[in-house]
Amino acid sequence: MKIGPSDNSLQIQSGNTSVNQKTGQAAPASTSATANAAESSRSAGVSVTVSTLARGLEKAARSDAADIDTQKVASVKAAIQDGTYVVNPEAIADKLLSNAQEMLNQTTN
């Protein structure tokens, strides 16, 4: 996807020729492909900067991943392997509803 000014032209390629819908001119497909490749290589040098806020959020997300209770994960994994893990559908439904309510409250505020 190219971001920036556009000439709003559309090229339709059929067989060995392509037609520019804006100008109505026919051109050999190889000429069209070469032009598209040249335009693509021109936009390859776009620079991107990341704000300090975004960097801070990335660091926070990485540090949150370290807050995993490995002992609990191991016990749940063992229960699943043993076939003794019990799913509580009421607890799941309650949590889903409370999360949905919280999201709805955030969007209305």
- Which position has the token pair 């819908």? 21
The pLDDT value given to residue 69? 87
**For residue 70, what are the CA distances in angstroms to 6, 24, 62, 76?**
52, 65, 16, 10
87 — pLDDT class (breaks 50, 70, 90): very high
Structural contact between residues 18 and 26, judged by C-beta atoms closer than 8 angstroms: yes
pLDDT, one tens digit per residue, over 61-76 is 776 556 788 899 999 9
Q: pLDDT at residue 84 above 60?
A: yes
CB atoms within 10 A of CB 29: 14
Rounded to two decimals, the pTM is: 0.32
